[in-house]
């Protein structure tokens, strides 16, 4: 049976790549993805019944957020974005990003993608985005949940942990990184993306071994969890044949009321969609 999501469902984590002729990738990039444009994204959403979206700036573009901003501008107010920035962005540039639909900055600590931000930049940027009401989006490896615990504890603005902390399902719910994540999510400013089931899964499709982790996070913070497809799936751990399969996991993660919070109410509040 095909899962039909509620009205105003939000995909809180996806990317756009291209058209490359208009939005070329930066030369110094960690990988080269296939072209997946805003039109490809819209077609996927029509098929899956998704209305709203949060596009996360792709590392292959660095701090050139143009492709993402273009997709947001053509969405009729249904898309928001998470930017990558550096110290060259002054206050005027940040305000322009806000006007373009940006609601947060992503910080990438994942080792294989390189370019981990130094903590000085991290702290400066967090202080600069606070007046805009933005949040910090944290992309890390499971072990970083332990390494960066003290730094995360210092955050006073909202922050969002990507992809269930990229924990390994094979290591179980009691593994130290996941327990650290459960401790973090008890804080009123910590959110988690219940996304990346394919990244968490050790068994592969249909990725059901990731479901207990999603359930635990939703139970721990039902008002501070959001969900995303992670389309188009850069550097996947397992092959994704169809994003509809990821949506079929949703009814296993929560009941109808919990799914409405996860898919509609929580992202509306975090990203500023009109209810």
Domains of the chain, first to last:
10-271 (3.20.20.140)
Give yes or no: 230 in active site. Answer: yes
Please identify which of the residues 144, 230, 243, 265 carries the catalytic annotation: 230
What's the CA gap between 141 and 267, in Å, rounded? 23
- Tens of pLDDT, residue by residue over 71-81, are 999 999 999 99
pTM of the model: 0.95
**How much of the chain, in percent, has pLDDT values that exceed 70?**
98
Question: pLDDT band at 239, cuts 50/70/90?
Answer: confident
What's the CA gap between 272 and 178, in Å, rounded? 29
Across residues 151-178, what is the average pLDDT? 98
- In degrees and rounded to multiples of 5, residue 256 shows phi and psi of -60, -45
Question: pLDDT band at 275, cuts 50/70/90?
Answer: low
Across residues 20-43, what is the average pLDDT? 94
Across residues 196-210, what is the average pLDDT? 96
Q: What is the predicted pLDDT for the residue at 250?
A: 98
């Amino acid at each position: 049976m095909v899962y039909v999501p509620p009205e105003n469902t939000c995909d809180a984590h996806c990317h756009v790549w291209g058209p490359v002729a208009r939005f070329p990738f930066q030369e110094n990039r960690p990988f080269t993805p296939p072209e997946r444009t805003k039109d490809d994204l819209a077609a996927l959403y029509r098929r899956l019944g998704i209305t709203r979206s949060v596009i996360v700036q792709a590392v292959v573009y660095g701090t050139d957020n143009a492709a993402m901003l273009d997709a947001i501008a053509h969405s009729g107010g249904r898309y928001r974005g998470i930017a990558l920035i550096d110290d060259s962005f002054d206050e005027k540039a940040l305000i322009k990003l806000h006007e373009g639909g940006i609601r947060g900055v992503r910080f990438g600590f994942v080792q294989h993608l390189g370019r981990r931000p130094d903590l000085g930049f991290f702290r400066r940027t967090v202080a600069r985005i606070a007046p805009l009401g933005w949040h910090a989006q944290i992309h890390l490896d499971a072990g970083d949940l332990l390494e960066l615990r003290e730094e995360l504890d210092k955050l006073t603005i909202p922050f969002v942990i990507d992809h269930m902390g990229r924990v390994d399902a094979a290591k179980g719910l009691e593994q130290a990184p996941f327990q650290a994540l459960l401790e973090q999510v008890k804080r009123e400013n910590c959110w988690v993306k219940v996304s990346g089931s394919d990244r968490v899964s050790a068994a592969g499709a249909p990725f059901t071994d990731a479901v207990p982790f999603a359930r635990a996070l939703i139970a721990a913070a039902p008002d501070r969890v959001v969900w995303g497809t992670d389309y188009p799936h850069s550097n996947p751990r397992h092959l994704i044949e169809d994003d509809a399969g990821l949506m079929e996991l949703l009814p296993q993660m929560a009941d109808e009321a919990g799914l409405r919070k996860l898919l509609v109410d929580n992202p509306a509040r975090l990203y500023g969609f009109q209810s």
